Amino acid sequence: MTEESTTDLGEKIVRVLKTIYDPEIPVDIYELGLIYDVFVNEDSEVKVLMTLTTPNCPVAETLPAEVEQKVASLKEVKSAEVEITFDPPWTQDLMSEEAKLELGML
């Protein structure tokens, strides 16, 4: 996989992540700052490092599975894995300007 196709795939993955919403907050998980990193290797294997708003978030079971399934559904992706971390813990500072505007925080 070329560097250019890795970048293209990364952009497609971000577009997919922007279709996934936290059910309690009307903002997608990418703009919310829940996605810490996306790794794509030469074999088109994807690893998403993400967090949740709280460790006992009601979607702790379903949200990572949804992320994994939607990323894996891209035809260019060979496999997808989601790793949850709480280091650093999520704060509202991680939200994009767009998310803060959407939630009336600006």
- Tell whether pTM > 0.85: yes
User: Coil, helix or strand for 88?
Assistant: coil
Q: What is the 3-state secondary structure (H, E, C) of 91-102?
A: CHHHCCHHHHHH
pLDDT tens, N- to C-terminus, the chain (106 residues): 677 787 889 999 999 999 999 888 889 999 999 999 999 998 999 999 999 988 888 888 899 999 999 999 999 999 999 999 999 999 999 999 999 998 999 8
In our burial notation (b when 16+ CB lie closer than 10 A, e otherwise), range 17-56 reads beebbbeebebbbbbbbbbbebebeeebebbbebbbbeee
Domain extents in the chain: 3-92
Do 27 and 103 contact (CB within 8 A), yes or no? yes
CATH 3.40.50.1100 fits 3-92, yes or no: no
d(CA 29, CA 10): 16
